[in-house]
Structure 1
Amino acid sequence: MSGWRSTLVTVVLSAVVGAAAAWGVMQWSARSKAPADLHAVIHQRLNLTPEQDRRLDEVEADFAVERRRLEAELRQANRELSAAIGESRGDTPEVRAAVEHFHMAMGDLQLATIAHVFEMRAVLAPDQVEVFDRVVVETLRADAD
């Protein structure tokens, strides 16, 4: 295989592996303990009133719909990226646009998740917020290490 073809194959394979790794990390992150821990704290340790429980159920139901939509967009962006890499001969405008779409979709999911956390927080009483905030901060710190 000539030098330029070998380089091209290496670049394309690196891009595919990088995209797959980013997708895998995103999937792992989306399924990480943070949401489950927050939900466990809310429902098990905060002594919710029936009204709070009802409101949180609504918040959860709304976010479930939004999260499915955002995850579908992320999967679509990943398909576009894989197609652009598969059809390209290197770092093309199409590959860069697909990477940008993937990053935007991932960012939108992260922003929606943070907004969801604050929406849950708004349902809680001040003493409950203190416990909730502590768990959020601890969870984020643990994920950063």
Structure 2
Amino acid sequence: MSAMRYLLVAVIAFAAAMAGVWAARAWRASPAHGEGQIHQLLHRDMTLDSRQQQRIAALEARFAQRRAGLEAQMRAINGQLAQAIEAEHGYGPRVAAAVDRSHLVMGQLQKETLQHVFAMRGVLRPDQAARFDATVARTLTDPPSPAP
């Protein structure tokens, strides 16, 4: 194999690795944007009674545990992706399989996040739910703030 071909394979592998890193960072950054606004609404801007606070705290604790598990799975898959890129030096079957696994876990996290949001909404009074709905809609449509 010529030196030029080795260079091309190295550049492709590097680009694939950077794409994986970018995707992982985007995946991790986007929930924080929405969660921050929803968390602020629930805990600072909205007057919740003590029963509502207790129920939401329990929901948040359960979800935090589940999210941590899914994030651990994503880290493991990212390690598998890195190994596959190292082994294949291109978009081969191992790389494709790792990408597919990461998409499944990201999709599961998105589904469970939405279930969590709806569970918290179920704790609210109708007037609170209307404000909550508006905040959720805004977090889904507003671009995240640029990182400092």
Q: Which residue does 2:12 correspond to in 1?
A: 11
Q: Deviations over 1:6-26 (max 9, x none)?
A: 221221111111111111212
- Taking every aligned residue pair, what percent have the same amino acid on both sides? 33
Instruction: Please state if 1:104 is matched with 2:104.
Output: yes
Task: Output the CA distance in 1 between the equivalents of 2:56 and 2:116.
Answer: 10
Q: CA RMSD in A?
A: 1.7
TM-score, scaled to structure 2: 0.89
Instruction: Please state if 1:128 is matched with 2:128.
Output: yes
Q: Unpaired segments of 5 or more residues in structure 2?
A: none
Contact 2:67-2:109 at 8 Å conserved across structures: yes
Shift of residue 89, structure 1, vs aligned partner: 3.5
Aligned positions, number: 144
Shift of residue 144, structure 1, vs aligned partner: 7.6
Deviates more, 1:128-137 or 1:40-49: 40-49
Deviates more, 1:89-98 or 1:14-23: 89-98
Task: Output the CA distance in 2 between the equivalents of 1:45 and 1:102.
Answer: 35
TM-score, scaled to structure 1: 0.91
Contact 2:10-2:89 at 8 Å conserved across structures: no
Change (3 A) 1:89 1:141: closer
Task: Output the CA distance in 1 between the equivalents of 2:128 and 2:60.
Answer: 18
